[in-house]
């Protein structure tokens, strides 16, 4: 189901409203508030790519840096046909709050290209990636702005980016991008990090609320990098995955699905709705299942004023960025659902991106166990800080996370002062 976004409720205006609420609660000084409400820097590029049939197509791409007060800008690159500058600005702002809430010394950025990567051949995708990288090389680099995978991009795309930037430099610059293959300086555990991080936060929050994970039921919308790995980790922790879906629909089995067979089916190019071991469900039906935990891990605004009243899960763990619109957030908070907010719940990816960047800079690499232990430490500590603020001030976790993040960035901005 495509997200419903009208002009009055653009992604950026939603992100700004969330920021305003945190800024009001913190009594943020006007100068700092003005700076943090807008993105710092945005680059829009239009560039040609030669197609396999010899024709040329012009593509549009973006790289937006929202804030760099606490370190280099950091955030993913999205290849998607519906991508807009407004979306990228909002997503760059969320990255600033995400890196702050988990205590990474980074700012926030996002970028991408308006394209349908599945309709491009491998060679076309490589040419597009290399040319786009060259266009944004004006503002990216290991000390300036470090891209990573997001929707529609993967480790292979990151390898082309790393190679292009390295060719320009004349030497290998592994720290210029994260989410790379391990053969060129990628980190162990980076692919599984977003899903693992989400599972760690979910399990911790359930234990805190006295909900026993063993036997608890889970429905997952989206079976990509975040959805499939969180399914694996939650199942390993004793939870029962009763439904999963991709963009074409999903499958439901109240006794539990076999996650490994679903992953094998997807990796062979199949769709989870074709899986024989359960009943078909639509994406809409999946969101409304009577489960303990719902993981919306597809895309923005999937839960809104229209369908939120029918959502029955006790815990909602935001795998995607902004999967609940503000109306849905209010409706579900009112009925007492525990919402684990995106900037915390899906921060595992950027946490291991940070560990990858550190390993690249020191040219010394850690085994998967070491990376996963550090990820666990950061996710559990960050969750506990957010939960403590939420209970001290009687706030939902999203408001508490936003306040902690905005306060961290505001302090850095204020102490540096306004130049000149």
Q: Work out the angle between the directed axes of helices 326-334 and 11-26 (0-180°, nearest 10).
A: 50
Helices (H), 242-347: 259-267, 283-287, 326-334, 342-345
Continuous segment of H or E residues that includes residue 193 = helix 193-208
Spatial separation of the C-alpha atoms in residues 325 and 303, rounded to whole Å: 6
With CB under 6 A as the contact rule, the residue among 15, 39, 148, 375 that binds ligand GLU is: 148
Minimum gap (Å) between residue 327 Cβ and ligand GLU: 23
Segment interacting with ligand GLU, rule: CB under 6 A, options 126-134, 285-293, 342-350, 371-379: 342-350
Q: Which is nearer to ligand GLU, 74 or 252 (CB)?
A: 74
Nearest to 200 by CA among 102, 266, 312: 102
For ligand GLU, which residue of 251, 350, 355, 371 counts as binding (CB under 6 A)?
350
Select from 150, 300, 325, 329 the one that contacts ligand GLU (CB under 6 A).
Answer: 150
Q: Is 108 in the site for ligand GLU (CB under 6 A)?
A: no
Residues 50-89 interacting with ligand GLU (rule: CB under 6 A)? 74-76
What does the block give as tokens for 269? 């190019």
For every residue of 52-104, which 3-state class applies, written as one string? CCCCEEEEEEEEEEEECCCCCEEEEEEECCCCCHHHHHHHHHHHHHHHHHCCC
Cα separation, 113 vs 128, whole angstroms: 9
Task: Count residues near ligand GLU (CB under 6 A).
Answer: 12
Q: Which is nearer to ligand GLU, 75 or 189 (CB)?
A: 75
Residue 203 half-sphere exposure toward CB, CA atoms < 13 A: 21
Considering 40, 74, 98, 110, which one is annotated as catalytic?
110
**String marking each residue 160-199 x if it binds ligand GLU according to CB under 6 A:** ------------------x---------------------
Task: Strands of 90-191 (E only): list them.
Answer: 108-113, 145-149
Nearer to ligand GLU, 240 or 346 (CB): 346
Active-site residue, 110 included: yes
Choosing from 349, 378, 408, 413, the residue that interacts with ligand GLU (CB under 6 A) is 349
Q: At what angle do helices 225-236 and 259-267 cross, to 10 degrees?
A: 160
Strand, coil or helix: 404: helix
The token pair that represents 386 in the structure block: 């957010």
* Binds ligand GLU by CB under 6 A, chosen from 16, 353, 382, 413: 353
When the beta carbons of 42 and 342 are compared against ligand GLU, the nearer one is 342
Q: Residues interacting with ligand GLU, by CB under 6 A?
A: 74-76, 98, 148, 150, 178, 321, 346, 349-350, 353
Report, as residue numbers or ranges, the catalytic residues.
110
């Amino acid at each position: 189901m495509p997200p419903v976004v009208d002009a009055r409720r653009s992604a950026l205006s939603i992100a700004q409203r969330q920021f305003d609420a945190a800024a009001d609660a913190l009594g943020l000084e006007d100068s700092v508030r003005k700076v943090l409400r807008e993105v710092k820097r945005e680059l829009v590029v239009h560039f040609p790519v030669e197609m396999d049939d010899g024709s040329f197509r012009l593509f549009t791409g973006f790289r937006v840096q929202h804030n760099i007060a606490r370190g280099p800008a950091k955030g993913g690159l999205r290849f998607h046909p519906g991508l807009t500058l407004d979306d990228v600005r909002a997503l760059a702002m969320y990255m600033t709050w995400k890196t702050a809430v988990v205590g990474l010394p980074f700012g926030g950025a996002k970028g991408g290209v308006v394209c349908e990567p599945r309709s491009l051949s491998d060679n076309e995708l490589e040419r597009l990636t290399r040319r786009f990288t060259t266009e944004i090389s004006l503002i990216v680099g290991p000390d300036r702005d470090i891209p990573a995978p997001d929707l529609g991009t993967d480790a292979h795309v990151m390898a082309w980016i790393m190679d292009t930037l390295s060719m320009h430099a004349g030497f290998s610059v592994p720290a210029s991008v994260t989410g790379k293959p391990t053969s060129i300086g990628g980190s162990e555990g980076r692919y599984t990090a977003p899903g693992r991080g989400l599972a760690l936060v979910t399990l911790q929050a359930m234990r805190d609320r006295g909900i026993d994970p063993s036997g608890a039921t889970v429905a997952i919308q989206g079976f990509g990098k975040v959805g499939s790995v969180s399914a694996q980790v939650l199942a390993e922790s004793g939870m029962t995955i009763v439904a999963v879906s991709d963009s074409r629909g999903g499958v439901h089995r109240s006794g539990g699905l076999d996650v490994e067979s679903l992953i094998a089916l997807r990796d062979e190019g199949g769709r989870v709705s074709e899986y024989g071991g359960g009943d078909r469900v639509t994406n809409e039906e999946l969101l409304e299942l009577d489960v303990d935990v719902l993981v919306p891990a597809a895309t923005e605004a999937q839960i809104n004023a229209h369908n939120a009243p029918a959502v029955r899960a006790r815990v909602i763990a935001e795998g995607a960025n902004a999967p609940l619109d503000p109306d849905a957030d209010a409706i579900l908070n009112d009925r007492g659902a525990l919402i684990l907010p995106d900037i915390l719940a899906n921060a595992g990816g950027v946490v291991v991106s940070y560990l990858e960047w550190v390993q690249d800079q020191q040219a010394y690499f850690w085994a998967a166990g070491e990376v996963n232990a550090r990820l666990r430490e950061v996710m559990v500590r960050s969750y506990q800080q957010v939960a403590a603020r939420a209970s001290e001030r009687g706030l939902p976790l999203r408001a508490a996370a936003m306040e902690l993040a905005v306060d961290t960035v505001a302090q850095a901005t204020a102490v540096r002062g306004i130049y000149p």
